[in-house]
């Protein structure tokens, strides 16, 4: 009966469904996320998707939003097939999608205002309209006082409100919210839903689809679809579901709806009152605990004491100081003020003995995902120095107790969240601690698994007298604690048994009591409270007279969704990228200083001039002639003489040590033999370890030998030189002194203008993929070309700035003159950096992680640029594939332009042949990038 056919609820027959799914399936590799779902989602109401983590709720929502490619089945949204790109681009201005995760589609470095403004620009609002809309939204959500705060620094609740503002900026008809309140405190949660109610009152036709794990929230929705394991278990109004299952709460109803085999493991949590022991001692004490980060007080004068064996609950909004307090108790953070005591002893981070009595489970799963379940348990057992003989038994015991026996050799990533949390708990307990500190251990865990975990905790407390300090967002869990504390803004508001707290406030439920406390503490005022719809003072003149006017105004913009290219949207992305770059110090530094630093390094490092070579002489002759020979060498700028060599052993030792690069042996009787014209031979040893250097040494010494011979000959024969047959006159063109810098520097500029801009551009796209904000490309009217060009623009400007920097450095610091046309060089550089950033964009289309983008881009740009672009060997000397790459690679042509203008004094006319390939490369690269970039997740 749990799998009845999911037909639309009869309560909503009048309007056609806002979305209807027929036989929809979805796979991620081998995992089946959605299993043949057929479902009609009614329009104009609040629809909830309920069910534990990982059952396919998010996948379903992203399909409906058009953010993900439909693999199987048919999905109609707002009267058209969402798989059709044309329909998507027509309806996307009517859909708003807020993905899962706190602030997932927001830009953390941008301020609240800038975030909303970005979305307003994407939907083509002009400046006045944007300002009006933003002022109104900020006013309603109570974010107005925080308009200039970076989104990353907001609390969870505020982030979600901001996300909602961004979603609502374009008056959508369909609002899709994926777990908008997970990890948000009760008060913010309530405010969030009030806000949604308000908006729905104003726009009654709007459909809202919400996925949630909080059953108490779902009870307020109009229509629900319960999901499990990629399937829809049941649909209907909340009352319907309760009636059908005969359950009292939705939690129970959901469990009743589960198939038999999943229900089998479920037991209702058995609460047992704590028996007070006579010898009770205090396990945890805090006295005036305070933690300040700069001028921000995270925890303010917190005091409590927890007797041994108690379950102590810690509640409060995100960022209210719960985790910080826990870290101070474990000694992870030293308190600014106050004292924390465990077992009556002050917490000392260096006291290893106390640590052995504490077990800690941090907020996220924090065990080693690269170790199996068994290896994780084993590692921790060893690190806690359990007796080696006892470890296997202890592991066995924990495995049995936490039902991990079947998964002992599985990697944690392959396990559902519930089992992973059990493993975390098993690890935290492996050494039999007397205190357990658990930071939100049940966040994101489904109700069945959550109850199982709680049963364990209760058993530990009651049977083994373990003290448990736990933080949670779930009210039904708070009710199971012996005592609870409510924290807000670093302060403890109240601390008592759950029943006493409800009674003291005279509230109906614990949640109501908490909200009352929070409001009393000022949480609900200025900062967070909903403010009346229109904030007149923020809008200078001409308030929007009425709602219809706004709607009318927005009509033309809906057409712009279909337009192929919109400059405003492109500039919106360009502006976003510029702001992001300005606020990320490491990337900005790399962009500005990186290339200059590298130019210095390469300018000095890759030098072909070999100078200051060390040499020494083993002179068996010791005559003026032999000395004149060695003086000749010592006098050149290439060689530096070291003390003479005494014998062969000395020669050998000094060459092995690398002390001398060259040794010269002049034979006995050298002077006499030279004078008599007898054939003699000078011994030369040079260090061949570095072949390039060795070749240069050989060249130098041969040249000097020839000169010495000629000099002697001319001196001997007077004017009558032994004439050569002919002469070769060498003209070193463009660089008459054959110096390294004038040759290297113009060729290095293209290299630097390629690698760093390409990498930064690739990163800017891949970052969005990794952080999740790429979804904004999927669900807004932005086209791929607008996105790419918008991303590219700031980096082109930056690269041009770098170009000016590098050229100035070349001219003024390295003293390499620019002989030709600066205009030609600049235009060449401009075209070249467009191709360089274009390559970055192209590379980004097939990279998914930032670290891969960094390494991938360096390999894909550096290798062809260094080896095939004529940096050292001209392209005409290459063969095969290298020659082909060399001919089409943009760096080749810009090196020609750079060398031509710097060294060869050329201008536009002489270099036109090098400009054409660059001009052709630009549309090719951008076109490929646009074709390969995905407009939906796959």
Partner 1 sequence: MSLSNIIQLGIKELRGLARDPVLLVLIVYSFTLSVYTAATAMPETLNRAPIAIVDEDRSPLSTRIVSAFYPPLFTPPELITRSEMDRRMDAGSDTFALNIPPDFQRDLLAGRQPVIQLNVDATRMSQAFSGSGYVQTIVTAEVNEFAARYRATGEQPVDLAMRARFNPELNKIWFGSVVQIINNVTMLSIVLTGTALIREREHGTVEHLLVMPITPFEIMVGKVWSMALVVLVAAAASLALVVQGFLAVPIEGSVPLFLAGAALHLFATTSLGIFLATLAGSMPQFGLLLILTLLPLNILSGGTTPRESMPEEVQFIMQAAPTTHFVSLAQAILYRGATLDIVWPQFMALILIGLVLFSFSLGRFRKSLK
Write out the two tokens for 292. 């300040």
How far is the CA of 489 from the CAs of 290, 319, 324, 472, in angstroms?
12, 8, 12, 16
Nearer to partner 1, 463 or 702 (CB): 702
Q: Which of 121, 136, 380, 575 binds partner 1 (CB under 8 A)?
A: 380
Q: What is the DSSP string of 863-883?
A: HHHHHSSSSSS-GGG--HHHH
Shortest spacing between CB 646 and partner 1, in angstroms: 17
Q: Does 608 bind partner 1 (CB under 8 A)?
A: yes
Nearer to partner 1, 690 or 932 (CB): 690
Phi, psi of 859 (to 5 degrees): -70, -45
Contacting partner 1 within 72-101 (CB under 8 A)? none
Which of 360, 573 has the CB closer to partner 1?
360
Report d(CA 882, CA 872) in Å as an integer: 13
Question: Which of these segments, 25-33, 126-134, 226-234, 654-662, binds partner 1 (CB under 8 A)?
Answer: 654-662
713: helix, strand or coil: helix
Q: Based on CB atoms, which residue is closest to partner 1, 719 or 723?
A: 723
Sign of CA dihedral 76, 80, 82, 88: negative
CB closer to partner 1, 170 vs 431: 431
Our finding on whether 938 is near partner 1 (CB under 8 A) is no
| CB contact set of 53 (below 8 Å; sequence gap of 6+) | 213, 416, 417, 444, 445, 446
Rule CB under 8 A: say whether 538 interacts with partner 1.
Answer: no
Q: Is the Cβ of residue 339 or residue 690 nearer to partner 1 in the bound state?
A: 690
> With binding defined as CB under 8 A, does residue 743 bind partner 1?
yes
As given in the structure block, the two tokens for residue 317 are: 């909004």
In whole angstroms, give the CA distance from residue 124 to residue 556: 10
Q: Given the complex with partner 1, which of 167 and 437 has the nearer CB atom?
A: 437
Q: Does 740 bind partner 1 (CB under 8 A)?
A: yes
Nearest approach, Cβ of residue 333 and partner 1 (Å): 7
**Which of 601, 920, 924, 931 contacts partner 1 by CB under 8 A?**
601
Min. distance of Cβ 748 from partner 1 in angstroms? 12
HSE value, Cβ hemisphere, 13 Å, CA-based, for 117: 17
Q: Which of 512, 554, 904, 908 binds partner 1 (CB under 8 A)?
A: 904
858 binds partner 1 (CB under 8 A): yes
Asked if 362 interacts with partner 1 (CB under 8 A), we say yes
Residue 723 near partner 1 by CB under 8 A: yes
- Using the contact rule CB under 8 A, the part of the chain among 17-25, 524-532, 551-559, 895-903 near partner 1 is 895-903
Residue 879 touches partner 1, criterion: CB under 8 A: yes
Minimum separation from the CB atom of position 625 to partner 1 (A):
10
Q: Is 426 in contact with 399 (CB distance < 8 Å)? A: yes
Contacts of 563 (CB under 8 A, 6+ apart): 781
3-state class (DSSP) for residue 45: coil
Q: How far apart are CA 296 and CA 86, in angstroms?
A: 50
Residue placing its CB nearer to partner 1 in the complex, 243 or 382: 382
Taking the complex as a whole, the smallest distance from the CB of residue 725 to partner 1 amounts, in Å, to 5
* Helix axes of 112-122 and 127-141: crossing angle, nearest 10 degrees: 130
Q: Is 31 in the site for partner 1 (CB under 8 A)?
A: no
Q: Of 7, 606, 823, 932, which lies in the binding site for partner 1, with binding defined by CB under 8 A?
A: 606
Check residue 730 for interaction with partner 1 (CB under 8 A). Answer: yes
Give 8 or 667: the residue with its C-beta nearer to partner 1. 667
Q: Which tokens go with 661? A: 């690069």
Nearer to partner 1, 36 or 375 (CB): 375
Task: Give the binding-site size for partner 1 (rule: CB under 8 A).
Answer: 130
Contact between 597 and partner 1 per CB under 8 A: yes
The window from 28-36, 197-205, 541-549, 864-872 that contacts partner 1 (CB under 8 A) reads: 864-872
Beta strands per DSSP E along 308-427: 311-316, 337-342, 345-346, 358-361
Whose Cβ is closer to partner 1: residue 231's or residue 767's?
767
Nearest to partner 1 of 508, 728 (CB atom):
728
The Cα–Cα gap between 740 and 897 comes to 19
* Binding status of residue 103 toward partner 1 by CB under 8 A: no
Q: Does 607 bind partner 1 (CB under 8 A)?
A: yes
Give 809's DSSP letter.
I
By rule CB under 8 A, what string of x and - marks binding of each residue 174-213 to partner 1?
----------------------------------------
Pick between residue 247 and residue 588 the one whose CB is nearest to partner 1. Answer: 588
In order of 604, 742, 897, the CA distances from 903 in angstroms are 19, 7, 10
> How far is residue 358 CA from its own chain's centroid?
33
C-alpha to C-alpha distance for 688 and 663, rounded to whole angstroms: 12
**Using rule CB under 8 A, residue 851 touches partner 1:** yes
Asked if 873 touches partner 1 (CB under 8 A), the answer is yes
Q: What is the C-alpha separation between 115 and 93, in angstroms, rounded?
A: 17
Q: Which residues on adjacent β-strands are paired with residue 224?
A: 48, 236
Structure tokens at 390: 């006892």
Counting contacts by CB under 8 A, is residue 400 touching partner 1?
no
Q: Which residues contact 227 (CB under 8 A, 6 or more apart)?
A: 49, 50, 51, 55, 56, 57, 60, 233
Q: Which of 341, 867, 887, 888 binds partner 1 (CB under 8 A)?
A: 867
Cβ at position 441, least distance to partner 1 in Å: 13
Token look-up 């681009």 returns: 89
Take residue 406 and report the two structure tokens written for it.
């079947």
Does position 330 bind partner 1 by CB under 8 A?
yes
Spatial distance between the Cα atoms of 565 and 562, rounded to a whole number of angstroms: 9
Phi, psi values for residue 72, rounded to 5°: -150, 140
CA distance 821 to 608: 27
Measure the CA–CA gap between 438 and 361, rounded to whole angstroms: 5
State the DSSP H helix or E strand holding residue 737, giving kind and residue range, or none if neither: none
> Please, what sign has the CA dihedral across residues 211, 215, 221, 226?
positive
Residue 882 and residue 867 in contact, taking contact as beta carbons nearer than 8 Å: yes
- Kindly state whether residue 490 participates in binding partner 1, applying the rule CB under 8 A: no
Near partner 1 in 661-700, by CB under 8 A: 674, 677-695, 698-699
Choosing from 15, 345, 563, 612, the residue that interacts with partner 1 (CB under 8 A) is 612
Contact present, 655 and 663 (Cβ < 8 Å): yes
Stretches 152-160, 465-473, 784-792, 844-852: which one binds partner 1 (CB under 8 A)?
Answer: 844-852
Q: What is the DSSP-derived secondary structure letter of residue 813? A: I
Specify whether the CB–CB gap between 315 and 483 falls below 8 A.
no
Question: Which is nearer to partner 1, 313 or 870 (by Cβ)?
Answer: 870
Residue with smaller CB distance to partner 1, 276 or 676: 676
Q: Which residues make Cβ contacts (< 8 Å) with residue 430, sequence separation at least 6?
A: 377, 380, 381, 384, 386, 394, 395, 398
Distance of CA 834 to the CA centre of its chain: 25
Closest separation in Å from C-beta 870 to partner 1: 7
Q: Binding residue for partner 1 (CB under 8 A) from 508, 726, 880, 938?
A: 726
* Closer of 297 and 867 to partner 1 (Cβ): 867
423 is a contact residue toward partner 1 (CB under 8 A): no
Out of 237, 369, 516, 521, name the contact with partner 1 by CB under 8 A.
369
- Contact flags string 756-775 toward partner 1, x per CB under 8 A: ---x---x---x--------
User: Is residue 353 a contact point for partner 1 (CB under 8 A)?
Assistant: yes
Number of other residues whose CB lies within 10 A of the CB of residue 749: 26
Report if residue 848 touches partner 1, rule: CB under 8 A: no
Least CB distance to partner 1 at residue 435 (A): 11
- Within residues 913-932, the interface with partner 1 by CB under 8 A covers 913
């Amino acid at each position: 009966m749990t799998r009845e056919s999911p037909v639309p609820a009869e309560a909503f027959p009048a309007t056609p469904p806002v979305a209807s799914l027929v036989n929809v399936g979805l796979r991620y590799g081998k995992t089946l996320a959605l299993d043949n779902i057929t479902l009609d989602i009614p329009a104009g109401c609040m629809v909830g998707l309920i069910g534990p983590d990982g059952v396919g709720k998010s996948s379903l929502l992203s399909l409906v939003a058009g953010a993900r490619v439909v693999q199987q089945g048919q999905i109609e949204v707002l009267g058209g097939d969402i798989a059709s790109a044309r329909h998507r681009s027509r309806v996307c201005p009517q859909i708003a999608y807020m993905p899962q995760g706190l602030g997932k589609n927001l830009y953390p470095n941008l301020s609240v205002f800038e975030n909303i403004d970005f979305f307003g620009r994407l939907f083509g609002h002009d400046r006045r309209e944007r300002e009006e809309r933003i002022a109104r939204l900020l006013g309603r959500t109570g974010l107005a006082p925080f308009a200039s705060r970076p989104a990353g620094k907001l609390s969870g609740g505020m982030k979600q409100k901001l996300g909602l503002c961004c979603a609502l900026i374009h008056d959508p008809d369909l609002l899709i919210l994926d777990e908008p309140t997970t990890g948000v405190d009760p008060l913010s949660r309530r405010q969030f839903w009030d806000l949604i109610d308000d908006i729905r009152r104003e726009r009654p036709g709007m459909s809202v689809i919400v996925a949630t794990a909080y059953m108490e929230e779902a009870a307020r929705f109009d229509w629900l679809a319960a999901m499990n394991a990629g399937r829809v278990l049941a649909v209907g109004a909340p009352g319907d579901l309760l009636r059908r299952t005969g359950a009292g709460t939705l939690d129970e109803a959901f469990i009743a709806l589960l198939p038999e085999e999943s229900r089998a493991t479920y037991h209702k949590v058995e609460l047992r009152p704590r028996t007070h022991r006579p010898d009770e001692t205090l396990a945890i004490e805090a006295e005036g605990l305070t933690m300040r980060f700069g001028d921000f007080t995270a925890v303010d004068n917190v005091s409590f004491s927890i007797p041994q064996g108690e379950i102590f609950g810690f509640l409060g909004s995100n960022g209210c100081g719960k985790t910080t307090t826990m870290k101070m108790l474990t000694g992870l953070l030293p308190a600014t003020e106050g004292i924390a005591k465990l077992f009556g002893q002050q917490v000392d981070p260096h006291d290893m003995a106390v640590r052995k009595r504490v077990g800690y489970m941090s907020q996220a799963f924090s065990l080693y995902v690269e170790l199996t379940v068994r290896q994780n348990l084993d590692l921790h057992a060893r690190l806690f120095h359990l007796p080696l003989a006892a470890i296997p038994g202890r592991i066995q015991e924990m495995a049995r107790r936490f039902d991990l026996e079947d998964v002992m050799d599985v990697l944690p990533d392959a396990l559902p969240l519930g089992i992973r949390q059990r493993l975390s708990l098993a690890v935290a307990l492996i050494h039999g601690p007397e205190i357990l500190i658990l930071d939100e251990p049940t966040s994101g865990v489904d109700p069945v698994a959550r109850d199982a975990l709680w049963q364990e905790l209760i058993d530990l407390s009651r049977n083994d007298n373990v003290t448990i300090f736990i933080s949670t967002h779930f009210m039904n869990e708070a009710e199971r604690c012996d005592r609870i504390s409510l924290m807000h803004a670093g302060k403890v508001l109240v601390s008592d048994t759950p029943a006493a707290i409800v009674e003291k406030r005279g509230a109906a439920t614990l949640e109501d009591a908490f909200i009352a406390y929070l409001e009393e503490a000022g949480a609900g005022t200025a900062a967070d409270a909903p403010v009346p719809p229109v904030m007149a003072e923020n809008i200078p003149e001409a308030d929007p007279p009425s709602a219809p006017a706004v709607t009318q105004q927005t009509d033309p913009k809906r057409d712009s969704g279909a337009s192929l290219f919109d400059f405003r949207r492109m500039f919106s992305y360009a502006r976003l990228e510029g702001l992001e770059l300005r606020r990320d110090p490491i990337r900005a530094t790399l962009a500005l200083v990186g290339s200059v630093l590298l130019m210095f390094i390469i300018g000095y490092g890759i030098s072909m001039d070999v100078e200051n070579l060390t040499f020494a002489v083993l002179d068996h002759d010791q005559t003026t002639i032999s000395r004149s020979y060695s003086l000749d060498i010592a006098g050149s700028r290439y060689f530096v003489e070291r003390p003479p060599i005494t014998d062969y052993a000395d020669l050998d030792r000094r060459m092995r040590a690398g002390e001398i690069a060259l040794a010269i042996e002049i034979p006995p009787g050298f002077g006499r033999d030279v004078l008599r014209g007898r054939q003699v031979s000078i011994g030369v040893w040079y260090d061949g370890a570095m072949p390039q250097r060795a070749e240069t040494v050989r060249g130098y010494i041969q040249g000097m030998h020839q000169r010495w011979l000629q000099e002697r000959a001319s001196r001997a024969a007077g004017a009558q030189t032994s004439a050569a047959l002919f002469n070769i006159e060498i003209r070193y063109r463009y660089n008459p002194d054959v110096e390294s810098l004038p040759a290297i520097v113009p060729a290095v500029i293209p290299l630097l203008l390629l690698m760093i801009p390409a990498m930064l551009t690739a990163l800017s796209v891949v970052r969005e993929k990794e952080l999740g904000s790429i979804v904004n490309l999927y669900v807004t009217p932005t086209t791929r070309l607008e996105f790419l060009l918008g991303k590219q623009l700031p980096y082109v400007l930056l690269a041009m700035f770098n170009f000016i920097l590098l050229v100035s450095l070349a001219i003024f610091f390295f003293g390499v003159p620019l002989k030709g046309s600066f205009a030609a060089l600049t235009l060449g550089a401009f075209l070249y950096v467009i191709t360089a950033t274009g390559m970055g964009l192209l590379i980004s289309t097939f990279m998914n992680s930032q670290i891969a983008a960094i390494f991938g881009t360096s390999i894909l740009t550096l290798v062809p640029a260094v080896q095939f672009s004529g940096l050292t060997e001209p392209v005409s000397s290459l063969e095969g594939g290298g020659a082909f790459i060399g001919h089409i690679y943009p760096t080749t042509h810009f090196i020609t332009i750079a060398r031509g203008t710097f060294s060869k004094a050329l201008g536009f006319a002489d270099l036109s042949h090098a400009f054409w390939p660059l001009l052709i490369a630009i549309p090719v690269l951008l076109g490929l990038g646009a074709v390969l970039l995905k407009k939906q997740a796959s």
